[in-house]
Structure 1
Amino acid sequence: MKILILGAGAMGCLYGAALHRAGAEVAFVDVNQPHIDAINQRGLELETRAGTEYLPIPALRPEDVREPADLIVVFTKTFHTDGALAGIAAGIGPETWLLSLQNGLGNDARLAAHADESRVLVGASTLPSDLVGPGRVRSHGEGGSKLYPAFGGDPAFAGRVAQLLTDGGLPAALDPEIHSAIWSKAIFNAAMNPLCALTLRTPGFLGAHEESRSMIHAVVEEGVATARASGVNIESKPIHDLTQISMTDHANHEASMLQDVKAHRRTEIDAINGAIVAAARKAGVPVPVTQTLCNLVRLEDAKLTES
């Protein structure tokens, strides 16, 4: 299977490595030139609890993509999705599948603007990964992935992708209730990411303080109430359990929103907390803590536009 990883950040590299190990023909696509150069010069350096490996996976710029892939796995920031896919139009043929493992809600519709709905897959991951330097990724922690066709239909190709990931060391499974899994992941991120970003601390710090633990609990309950009011039947306990794992097993993991704030980059707050707030408003569900965290991170983003 010929696979392009669109967005070679921490998660893109982690998943590209697994697909490469499983025997797929993988290439990274990104615009970070030092990162591209480092990968091409010495291979991707991936550190896990099992040790460090160097993987000879090519890295390309978008303009270097010249022929269709069988699968494009999208790991760009949500607000870059349309532009990134347009930039590799040569890689999207009539038989190409698109898979989003991005944060937030609404990624299915974004991908469907670039491929037939029948070839759009979506998924959710509970794996941690950190980009520690050009060409260098670290992932210390356990987790897995769920995926499925976004709009229904034959899951056979999704099953092949899940098997490749599993064979490559990242457990993955098909989940017909994938939208419930995506909502659960979005709620988890809405609880953990903004607090990491605003405190400039990792989850271990949040777990050590009652103030943050109470806000995390509140955001999970608000998000679950919103999901249920929106027709997505999920339970809060598994999400609470994930936040606890984050604060213990992944205590030193730098959440993506924390990395963005530290690097003075725009966050994905609109696709995470903002999307939950919008759904809550439509359903008539009060979400005061989720809204407050959303507003505070949006103010962090607003600093980027100051002269």
Structure 2
Amino acid sequence: MRVAVVGAGAMGCLYAAAFHRAGAAVTLVDVNPEHIAAINARGLELETRAGIETLPLPALRPEQATEAADLLVLFTKTFHTDVALEGVKAIIGPDTHVLTLQNGLGNDEAVARHVARERVIAGVSTMPSDLVGSGRVRSHGEGGSKIYPAFGGDTGFAQRVADLLAAGGLPTHLEPQIQAAIWSKAIFNAAMNTLCALTRRTPGFLGAHDEAKAMISAVVLEGVAAANASGIAIQAQPILDLTVVSVTDHADHEASMLQDVKAGRPTEVDAINGAIVRAARKAGVAVPVTETLWRLVKLEDAKLA
């Protein structure tokens, strides 16, 4: 399988490594010139609990990518989706599938503006990954992926993708209730990502303070109420259990929103907390803690103007 990973940040590199280990022909596509140069010069360095490996993956700028891919894996920021897919339209052939593992809600519909709906695969990942330098990624912690055709239909290609990722070391399975999984991940991020960003601390810090734990629980319960009122049946306890894993097993992981705030980049809070708030309003559900965290992170974004 010819796989193009568009958005070669921490998560993109982690998944590219898995596809490479499984024997796929993988190309990284990104706009960071230092990162691209480092990968092409010495390979992608990936550090996991098992050790450090160096993987010989080609890295290109979007305009350099010209060969049609069987699978395009999209890991850009949500607000870059349209620009990113337009920038790599040369590699989107009539049979190319696009897998979005981006944060937040509504990514499948955004991708469907660029490819046929039957070729959109949606998913979520619970893997931790940090970009520690140009060409260097660290992933210390366990997790996996759930994927499924976003709008229903044939699951054959999605199963091949899941099998490759599993063979490459990232446990992945098909989840027919993928929208419930996406909502659950968004609710988790609405609590954990925002609090990490606002405190400038990793999950271990949150787990050590009752104030943070109370807000985490409140956001999860609000998000579940909004999901259920929107016709997505989910329960709170599995999400709460995942937050416990985050503050223990992933205690030192820098959440993507924390990385963005520290680096002076815009966050994806509109696609996470903002999307939950908008859905809650439409369904007539109050989500005050989720909305407060959304507005506080928006103030962080406003500092960049």
| Fold shared per TM-score above 0.5 | yes
SS at match of 1:113: coil
Q: CA deviation at 1:211?
A: 0.5
Q: CA deviation at 1:45?
A: 0.1
SS at match of 1:47: strand
Supply the distance in 1 between the matched residues of 2:194 and 2:69 (Cα, whole angstroms). 35
Q: Which residue of 1 aligns with 2:122?
A: 122
Whether 2:245 is the aligned partner of 1:245: answer yes
Q: Which residue of 2 aligns with 1:208?
A: 208
Whether 2:300 is the aligned partner of 1:300: answer yes
- The superposition leaves residues 270-289 of structure 1 with CA deviations (integer Å, 9 ceiling, x where unpaired) of 00000000000000000000
SS at match of 1:260: helix
Q: Which residue of 2 aligns with 1:222?
A: 222
Supply the distance in 1 between the matched residues of 2:241 and 2:221 (Cα, whole angstroms). 13
Supply the distance in 2 between the matched residues of 1:138 and 1:66 (Cα, whole angstroms). 29
Q: CA deviation at 1:302?
A: 0.5
CA RMSD of aligned residues (A): 0.4
Q: Which stretches in structure 2 are left out of the alignment for 5+ residues?
A: none
Supply the distance in 2 between the matched residues of 1:281 and 1:68 (Cα, whole angstroms). 41
Supply the distance in 2 between the matched residues of 1:69 and 1:125 (Cα, whole angstroms). 22
Supply the distance in 2 between the matched residues of 1:217 and 1:278 (Cα, whole angstroms). 20
Q: Which residue of 2 aligns with 1:138?
A: 138
Q: Which residue of 1 aligns with 2:166?
A: 166
Whether 2:290 is the aligned partner of 1:290: answer yes
Q: Which residue of 2 aligns with 1:177?
A: 177
Q: If the length of structure 2 is used for normalisation, what is the TM-score?
A: 1.00
- The superposition leaves residues 7-49 of structure 1 with CA deviations (integer Å, 9 ceiling, x where unpaired) of 0000000000000000000000000000000000110000000
Supply the distance in 1 between the matched residues of 2:195 and 2:178 (Cα, whole angstroms). 26
Supply the distance in 1 between the matched residues of 2:81 and 2:151 (Cα, whole angstroms). 18
Code of the residue aligned with 1:200 in structure 2: it is R
Q: CA deviation at 1:68?
A: 1.1
Supply the distance in 1 between the matched residues of 2:89 and 2:175 (Cα, whole angstroms). 29
Which residues in structure 2 correspond to 1:268-279 (within 5 Å)? Answer: 268-279=268-279
What is the total number of aligned residue pairs between the two structures?
305
Q: CA deviation at 1:67?
A: 2.2
Displaced runs of 4 or more, over 6 A: none
- The superposition leaves residues 46-100 of structure 1 with CA deviations (integer Å, 9 ceiling, x where unpaired) of 0000000000000000000112110100000000000000001101111100000
SS at match of 1:72: strand
Q: Which residue of 1 aligns with 2:97?
A: 97
Q: Which stretches in structure 1 are left out of the alignment for 5+ residues?
A: none
SS at match of 1:70: strand
Q: Which residue of 1 aligns with 2:84?
A: 84
Q: Which residue of 2 aligns with 1:60?
A: 60
Supply the distance in 2 between the matched residues of 1:147 and 1:197 (Cα, whole angstroms). 27
Q: Which residue of 1 aligns with 2:45?
A: 45
SS at match of 1:45: strand
SS at match of 2:93: coil
- The superposition leaves residues 105-130 of structure 1 with CA deviations (integer Å, 9 ceiling, x where unpaired) of 00000100010000000000000000
Q: If the length of structure 1 is used for normalisation, what is the TM-score?
A: 0.99
Q: Which residue of 2 aligns with 1:260?
A: 260
Supply the distance in 2 between the matched residues of 1:89 and 1:166 (Cα, whole angstroms). 28
Code of the residue aligned with 1:104 in structure 2: it is G
- The superposition leaves residues 145-171 of structure 1 with CA deviations (integer Å, 9 ceiling, x where unpaired) of 000000000000000000000000000
Supply the distance in 1 between the matched residues of 2:291 and 2:81 (Cα, whole angstroms). 24
